[in-house]
Amino acid sequence: MDTHGNLIPATSGEEELVQAHAELMRHSFGYLKSMALSSAVKLGIPDAIHHHGGAASLPELLAILPLPQSKQPYLPRLMKMLAVAGIFGTAPAGEGCEVRYCLTPVSRLLVRDAAVNGGACRSPVVLVATSAAHLTASARLHEWLLQEEVETPFAMAHGGEGFFGVAGGDGEYSALNSEAKASESRREAETVVRACGPVFEGITSLVDVGGGNGTAAMAIARAFPHVKCTVLELPHVVDAVRALPREEEGAVEFVAGDMMQSIPPADAILFKYVLHNWSDEDCVGILTRCREAIPSGGKVIIIDTVVGFGSPSHEILESQLLMDMCMMVLLDGKERDEQCWGKIFMEAGFSHYKIKHLQALGSAIEVYV
Ligand SMILES: C[S@@+](CC[C@H](N)C(=O)[O-])C[C@H]1O[C@@H](n2cnc3c(N)ncnc32)[C@H](O)[C@@H]1O
């Protein structure tokens, strides 16, 4: 303002400064966006909107959600933030013009009713990503970077057994992790089967290494009955799978073992979102064992992120790089670009590879001897 109360137009330098400051605030308080999202999932807001016909006003939401009287005035602020972030949409309510909140493509992924998102509910993934276990580990990142010895920020925060030790335990975090993995796996397995048909042609046996509860192997066995499918998993995972009643008993064989020791022979060895958990050095060792386990003409199939492959949008690239940070915090792993993958394949004694972009955040890589 000048001395007469008129607005003085900002110079472009000042505008840039204001923008930069706003950008810095967005990034510094970005964790509050994550926490608002996590709260919405925990309060069941996406399901409440869905069950209310796909849109709900604040009084309608307050009638559904179990908020005590004293906390009800806070809900509009949470919803406003989540709408600005694109989690929910807004639509005028008509009479009185009060706003109604509706689902967006993002919050449709948070609804538990499979009819809304084809069974791809990502709420468990949001809850794991925003869990106290991840947040406390992330807060140790700079300390970890300054230390020679400790393996990961996760181990620094939660003890020497590291991510797989804690995730394999029987606590709440472990249950959440299994649910998140299962919810992602269902959708990914369908994508693999739909997009990778030719990849499974000409093979008669396949081992899904680190195949979890066998969701992908079962989808492959169903779609390609000529392929004998085996899952190699850590003993505690196999014990847990065997303890569950299975719909398709016998379609897939489970083998308890350790890929760091040996890999059962097969025409094709599959790794779906496994190798990004491991260092380059470990991957070279694992893939060298694969080369010894496949016949000439066999192959390794990797479903994983290839950072930047297929000219991704800014949002997809950022999510790939955030996943890379997550690998750094939780495990000694990383998200790799094509050059990095290629180097590992050559070091493990493979001669060539083919990458197919999948309609997901990842790609399918076929690696040949
Ligand atoms: C990120 S999960 C991927 C699971 C599954 N492939 C999927 O896409 O849903 C990594 C899996 O690797 C398994 N794993 C970790 N270390 C292993 C090892 N040494 N040998 C075999 N499996 C291992 C874990 O138990 C876990 O199920």
CA 317 to the chain's CA centroid: 14
Residues sharing a CB contact under 8 Å with residue 46, sequence separation 6 or more, in sequence order = 40, 103, 107, 108, 110, 111, 123
Q: Which residues of 313-341 are buried (b: 16+ CB within 10 A; e: fewer)?
A: eeebeeebeebbebbbbbbbbbbbeeeeb
Q: Specify the pLDDT at position 186.
A: 75
- For ligand 1, atom 24: residue with the closest CA: 210
Residues sharing a CB contact under 8 Å with residue 146, sequence separation 6 or more, in sequence order = none
Catalytic, 276? Answer yes
The one-digit pLDDT tens for each residue of the chain (369 residues) are 666 667 666 667 888 999 999 999 999 999 999 999 999 999 999 999 999 999 999 999 999 999 999 999 999 999 999 999 999 999 877 666 579 999 999 999 999 988 888 888 999 999 999 999 999 999 999 999 999 887 899 999 998 778 888 877 767 888 888 888 877 777 777 778 887 788 888 899 999 999 988 888 998 998 899 999 999 999 988 988 888 776 655 689 999 999 999 999 999 999 999 999 999 999 999 999 999 999 998 999 999 999 999 888 999 999 999 999 999 999 999 999 999 999 999 999 999 999 998 876 689 999 999
Q: Specify the pLDDT at position 78.
A: 98
User: Tokens 């992120």, residue?
Assistant: 305
Give me 137's structure tokens: 């580990």
What's 306's DSSP letter? B
Q: Specify the pLDDT at position 103.
A: 97
12-117, CATH topology level: Arc Repressor Mutant, subunit A (1.10.10)
**110-116: long-range contacts, CB 8 A cutoff, minimum separation 24:** 110/40, 110/41, 110/46, 110/47, 111/46, 111/47, 111/50, 112/47, 113/47, 113/50, 116/50
Give me 310's structure tokens: 């297929």
Q: Of residues 27, 51, 276, 314, which has the active-site annotation?
A: 276
CA of 140 to the centre of ligand 1 (A): 25
Which residue in 179, 250, 241 sits closest to 210, CA to CA? 241
Give the separation between CA 326 and CA 13, rounded to whole angstroms.
36
Give the separation between CA 69 and CA 287, rounded to whole angstroms.
59
Q: Which amino acid is at 197?
A: G
**Ligand 1 atom nearest to 212, measured from its CA:** 27
Q: Specify the pLDDT at position 293.
A: 95
Name residues contacting ligand 1 (CB within 6 A).
164, 181, 185, 210-212, 232-234, 237, 258-260, 272-274, 277
Superfamily classification of domain 188-368: Vaccinia Virus protein VP39 (3.40.50.150)
Which residue in 256, 244, 255, 182 sits closest to 219, CA to CA? 182
CA of 213 to the centre of ligand 1 (A): 10
CA of 248 to the centre of ligand 1 (A): 21
**Ligand 1 atom nearest to 259, measured from its CA:** 20
**Ligand 1 atom nearest to 188, measured from its CA:** 8
Give the separation between CA 213 and CA 181, rounded to whole angstroms.
9
Q: How long a stretch of residues is the chain? A: 369
Rg of the chain (C-alpha set): 24
- For ligand 1, atom 15: residue with the closest CA: 210
Angle (CA) 56 58 62, round 5°: 100
Q: Which residues of 3-39 are buried (b: 16+ CB within 10 A; e: fewer)?
A: eeeeeeeeeeeeeeeeeeeeeeeeeeeeeeeeebbbe
Give the separation between CA 137 and CA 319, rounded to whole angstroms.
19
CA of 333 to the centre of ligand 1 (A): 13
Residue ranges covered by each domain of the chain:
12-117, 188-368
Strands (E) located in the chain: 55-57, 88-92, 99-103, 205-209, 228-233, 252-256, 268-272, 299-304, 352-357, 363-368
Give the separation between CA 336 and CA 279, rounded to whole angstroms.
10
